[in-house]
Amino acid sequence: MGETITLRGADGFEFSAYHEQAFTPRKGGVIVIQEIFGIDRFVRADVERWAKAGYEAIAPSLYDRRERGFTSEHDQEGIAAGVVHARGTPLEQALGDIGACRDFLAERGKVFVVGYCYGGSLTWLSAAKVEGLSGASSYYGSLVQANAALKPLCPTIIHLGHTDPGINAEAVEKAVHEHNPDVPVYVYEGAGHGFNNESPERYNEEAADLARARTRQLFESA
């Protein structure tokens, strides 16, 4: 069963993180990076899913300096609140907290990172800026295209929904491959933004299953 632990960020601030040990023989550690909605039930479910797959998993609460324990619903009010926190959280600060999670997990083996939406952007940035990661899987991050010229330091893959109204999958793929032709960019037909999230309005089971399989393959081959 998962637990909330406390870690110290690069700036000395103590933030919370949702943590779960591997259910089966440990394959490594996975940092799960949240959507804009905080460490909600869907992030916790993803941490548990990774733990069941054999990974010690941890999800840092990246908004703690602004509002401890923040979570919001996936309605217009919740989206607006999450966007305010995401925009108000410096990217380098978030990367520092991700680095603290890496340090926590690294004592026990390889460390991977996976993130969704806001976390998908941070996963792409982490792959290029946080040393010591063994693999990264970025889901529908809105900042990937603008940062496509960054060079990942570890094997990295990207997942995008073809019908995502806020992210032009073809444009992201073109930008990434212009600078990083060896980075796989997977575009899922019929899938929109947030297709890995099991909320009824966003979940696409076929796309989610395939993306998870590709992510597990990446991590297990590292």
pLDDT in tens, the chain (222 residues): 799 999 999 899 999 999 999 999 999 999 999 999 999 999 999 999 999 999 999 999 999 999 999 999 999 999 999 999 999 999 999 999 999 999 999 999 999 999 999 999 999 999 999 999 999 999 999 999 999 999 999 999 999 999 999 999 999 999 999 999 999 999 999 999 999 998 888 999 999 999 999 999 999 998
Tell whether pTM > 0.95.
yes
Tokens of 140: 């529908």
CATH for the stretch 3-221: 3.40.50.1820
79: exposed, middle or buried (Cβ count in 10 Å: 0-12, 13-18, 19+): middle
Domain spans of the chain? 3-221
Q: At what angle do helices 91-106 and 118-129 cross, to 10 degrees?
A: 70
Which tens digits make up the pLDDT trace of 176-196?
A: 999 999 999 999 999 999 999
Give how far Cα 148 sits from Cα of 127, 152, 186, Å: 12, 10, 15
Taken as a whole, the chain contains a residue count of 222
CB atoms within 10 A of CB 96: 16
Per-residue pLDDT reduced to its tens digit, 67-92:
999 999 999 999 999 999 999 999 99
Give the sheet arrangement for strand 14-20, strand by strand.
Answer: 3-8, 14-20, 55-60, 28-33, 111-116, 135-139, 156-161, 185-188
Q: Which residues pair with 57 in a beta bridge?
A: 20, 30
